[in-house]
Amino acid sequence: MFAWKVGPALAVGNSVIVKPAEQTSMSAYRMAQLAYQAGIPEAALLVVTGHGEDTGQPLGLHSDVDVVSFTGSTEVGRKFLEYSARSNLKEIVLECGGKSPQVVFADLHDIDAVVDDMLNSAFWNMGENCSCGSRLIVEHSIKDQLLEKLVEGLKGWKVGDPTDPQTHIGPMVEQAHFEKVRGFIESAKRVFTKSSSSG
C-alpha cells in the first residue's frame, strides 16, 4: 500500500508525508529507509508516526497539504472530508473498508482455480485488507461442491509464525482486531448451528 500510493506521487514530482497506522509504523519506516538508499531525497519523503488525533488530524487540517489519500475506516474517512472543508478544500482520496463479494456461478470453467482465487482474496494478509473477498455469493447448484473444495483448500493455509516462509496466515495486527474477528466466527457458528438444527 505504501508503494502504490507513494511511488506514483514521487514519480510525478510531489513531496509526500506518510502517516502509517500506529500498528504498522515500522514497515513504513523501513520502506522510507529503502527509498532514501535508492536516491529519493529525504525532504521529498517524510514518515510521521502517532495516533490519528495527534498526526493524521493536523495533516488533514494543514493548509499546505494539497491532497490526502487515506485508507481505513469509513468513520475516519468522513473526518478527512470535514478537515478538507475546514481548511483549504484539499483533494481527499478515500479507500474505506468494505465487504467485497466474490460471486460464483455454476458455469465456471475451472472450480479449482476459482477456489484458489477465493482463498487468496479472503485470506491474503490475514484478511486484513480493504479489498478482502469477505463475502461469498454462490449459485445454489454448486454451493456444496464449492464449500467442500474451499474447506479442503484451506487446509493448505498454514497458520503460524510470520517469519516462517511456510506460514500463510500469521497473527492479527492487534488484540482488538483478533477479538473482533473471533466474535464474527463465533456468531457464524451460532447461526450455522441454529440453521442446521432447524433444517
Residue 128 belongs to a domain with what CATH number? 3.40.309.10
41 and 80 both lie in a single domain: yes
End-to-end CA distance of the chain: 44
Q: How far apart are CA 116 and CA 114, in angstroms?
A: 5
Residue 6 within a domain? yes
Q: Residues 70, 118: one domain?
A: no
Q: Are residues 14 and 83 in the same domain?
A: yes
Same domain assignment for residues 42 and 112:
no
**Does residue 66 sit in the same domain as residue 151?**
no
Residues (pLDDT < 50) of the chain are none
Q: What is the pTM of this model?
A: 0.71
Query: What was the pLDDT predicted at 185?
Result: 83
Catalytic residue check, 95? yes
Q: What is the per-residue pLDDT for 142?
A: 94
Full domain range(s) for residue 41: 2-96
Verify that 109 and 80 share a domain, yes or no.
Answer: no
Q: Give pLDDT, residue 79.
A: 97
Which among 83, 38, 40, 39 is positioned nearest to 65, based on CA atoms?
83
How far apart, in whole angstroms, are the C-alpha atoms of residue 17 and residue 64? Answer: 12
Same-domain pairing of 18 and 85: yes
Clarify whether residues 54 and 16 are in a common domain. Answer: yes
| 185 domain residue, yes or no | no
pLDDT digits (tens, 9 = 90+) for 147-161: 999 999 999 888 888
Same domain, yes or no, for 35 and 74? yes
26 located within any domain: yes
> Residue 145 — left, alpha, or beta (φ > 0 → left; ψ -120 to 50 → alpha)?
alpha
**Quick check: is 199 in a domain?**
no
Choose, from 75, 82, 95, 152, the residue flagged as catalytic.
95
d(CA 104, CA 106): 7
Based on the structure, what is the number of domains in the chain?
A: 2
Same domain as 106, residue 120: yes
Tell whether 13 and 78 lie within a shared domain.
yes
Judge whether 181 and 172 are in contact, CB under 8 Å: yes
Same structural domain for residues 56 and 88? Answer: yes
Does residue 18 fall inside a structural domain?
A: yes
Residue 199's pLDDT is: 58
